[in-house]
Amino acid sequence: MSGGRIAQRFETLRADGRGGFVAYLTGGDPDIAVGASLVEALDRGGADIVELGVPFSDPLADGPTIQRGMERALASGTTLASVIALVREVRDRVATPIVLFSYANPILAYGRDRFVADAAAAGVDGLLVLDLPPEAMGDLHPSLLDAGIDPIFLISPTSSAARIEQAARLGRGFLYGISRLGVTGMRTSIATSAGELASRVRGITDMPLVLGFGVSTPEHVAEFHRHADAAVVGSALVDLVGRHAGDSQLPQRLESMVRWLRGEGPAPEGGDP
What is the block-wise mean pLDDT of the chain (273 residues), using blocks of 10 residues?
A: 83 97 97 95 98 90 86 96 98 97 96 98 97 94 98 94 97 89 45 81 96 89 94 94 94 96 82 59
Cis? peptide before 266, omega within 30° of 0:
no
Which pLDDT does position 61 carry in this prediction?
A: 66
Q: Report the residue count for the chain.
A: 273
Can you tell me the distance from the alpha carbon of 127 to that of 115, in angstroms, rounded to the nearest whole number? 11
Q: Looking at the domain assignment, is residue 168 inside a domain?
A: yes
Q: Looking at the domain assignment, is residue 91 inside a domain?
A: yes
The C-alpha R_g of the chain, in whole angstroms, comes to 17
Q: Looking at the domain assignment, is residue 125 inside a domain?
A: yes
Q: Looking at the domain assignment, is residue 100 inside a domain?
A: yes
Query: How, if at all, do strands 175-178 and 20-26 pair?
Result: unpaired
Q: Looking at the domain assignment, is residue 222 inside a domain?
A: yes
Residue 219 catalytic?
A: no
Q: Looking at the domain assignment, is residue 270 inside a domain?
A: no
Which pLDDT does position 2 carry in this prediction?
A: 46
Which pLDDT does position 268 carry in this prediction?
A: 72
Which pLDDT does position 182 carry in this prediction?
A: 44
Q: What is the CATH number of the domain that holds 95?
A: 3.20.20.70
Q: Looking at the domain assignment, is residue 268 inside a domain?
A: no
Range of the structural domain that residue 186 is part of:
5-263
pTM listed for this prediction: 0.92
Which pLDDT does position 266 carry in this prediction?
A: 87
Q: Looking at the domain assignment, is residue 271 inside a domain?
A: no
Q: Please tell me which residue in 29, 43, 51, 150 is annotated as part of the active site.
A: 51
Query: Phi and psi at residue 21, in whole multiples of 5°?
Result: -125, 120
Can you tell me the distance from the alpha carbon of 61 to that of 56, in angstroms, rounded to the nearest whole number? 12
Number of folded domains in the chain? 1
Residue 51 catalytic?
A: yes
Q: Please tell me which residue in 62, 125, 150, 229 is annotated as part of the active site.
A: 62
